[in-house]
Amino acid sequence: MPRFKSILCPIDFSEFSVKAYDYAQSLAWHYKAELLVQYVRYSFPAFYIDASYKEIRRKLRADALQKLREFAKRLTRTKVQPQCVVHEGCRLSESSLYSDRILSFAKAQAVNLIVMGTHGLGGVDRLMLGSVTEKVLRKARCPVLVVRKPAHDFVSPGKKADPINIKKIVLCMDFSKHAQHALSHAFSIAKQYNAELTLLHVLEHPPGSADIQSTTAKTTEQLRESAPPRAINPSLVKFLVRIGKPYQQIIDLAMEAQTDLVIMGVRGRSSLSSALFGSTTYRVIQLGPCPVLAVHT
């Protein structure tokens, strides 16, 4: 089973960053992984800078690093010792600046997981992800855990060492090689947290009513056969087949079961580019009630 050795958590000091950081430090603690906390700040292009501004810029960078360290110190409840880094740059598009710095740093540090927060909005805007999060999802070469404000609070109250409590995980299975790759991550995380894991397959185009029962039984058995033997306590593994639109069934199950984490396999960099806005992964991330781990092949 895969293990996370290096985890990157980009933050912007928003409430979404706080929740993402809770998840990042918890995973780092469980996996004994290195935790990198990154803040990206905009700076003016070099040709605008004179000698006096260089000193101002140095001071701003030092202040940002101090603020980042205070953020991590205030919120860290585990024995994890995060490494705080501040990066600067300029772009015509600030979102490109931030996403480029996140992706380049993740690649340079051989990061195994990126954990980041994103906004959750109402109405038409619920179909819009934060532009930085979207670009990281499209181009990251490692799994990305996207944390929104959940429907139920997964953060443990009080001063317990672990800031989160993952009790229920849903893995979306379509029997592709991408889902199989996500499967190994799902069992790994379930083992670390001793969590209940549900393997879910959605029949979007089911056969006639006469064959529904047999098809469901065969698909359930296929789910059972895909589970690695002795990976976790068998009593914690469930198998479920539902009928309907995949994203809607995933969201409905997550809400009904008060799921703490949804895990989905995605088809690498192309699956989250031109087809992003209509993809099942995108809709579950933006409309679902809990964090989503998108696992790239």
State pLDDT tens for residues 130-145. Answer: 678 888 988 899 999 9
Which pLDDT score is estimated for 16?
86
Is pLDDT of 124 > 90? no
Amino acid at the residue 41: R
Q: What pLDDT is recorded for position 134?
A: 84
32 is a domain residue:
yes
| Neighbouring C-alpha atoms within 13 Å toward the C-beta of 183 | 22
The total domain count for the chain is 2
Read off the pLDDT band of 218 (50, 70, 90). Answer: very high
Residue 13 included in any domain: yes
Tell me, yes or no, whether 155 lies in a domain: no
- Per-residue pLDDT, 145: 96
Whole-angstrom Cα distance, residue 203 to residue 199? 13
Q: Please give the Cα distance from 254 to 246 (Å, whole number).
A: 12
Say which residue, 228 or 66, is predicted with more confidence.
66
Q: What is the reported pTM?
A: 0.88
3-state secondary structure of 13: coil
The domain boundary, picked from 149, 171, 205, lies at 149
Residues 61, 145 within the same domain? yes
In a domain, 204, yes or no: yes
What pLDDT is recorded for position 201? 96
Reduced to 3 states, what is the DSSP secondary structure of residue 280? Answer: helix
Instruction: Quote the domain boundaries for residue 181.
Output: 160-297
Residue 248: what residue type? Q
Q: Are residues 120 and 247 in the same domain?
A: no
Neighbours of 176 (CB within 10 A): 12
Query: Which range in 169-178, 192-201, 259-268, 274-283 is most confidently predicted, on average pLDDT?
Result: 192-201
Dihedrals φ, ψ of 88, to 5°? -125, 165
So what's the pLDDT on residue 128? Answer: 41
List pLDDT tens digits, range 26-41: 999 999 999 999 999 8
> Is residue 133 situated within a structural domain?
yes
Which of 118, 149, 180 represents a domain boundary (last residue)?
Answer: 149
Q: Do 134 and 2 fall within a single domain?
A: yes
Instruction: Summarize the confidence of residues 83-100 as an average pLDDT.
Output: 80
Q: Does residue 145 sit in the same domain as residue 164?
A: no
pLDDT recorded at residue 211: 82
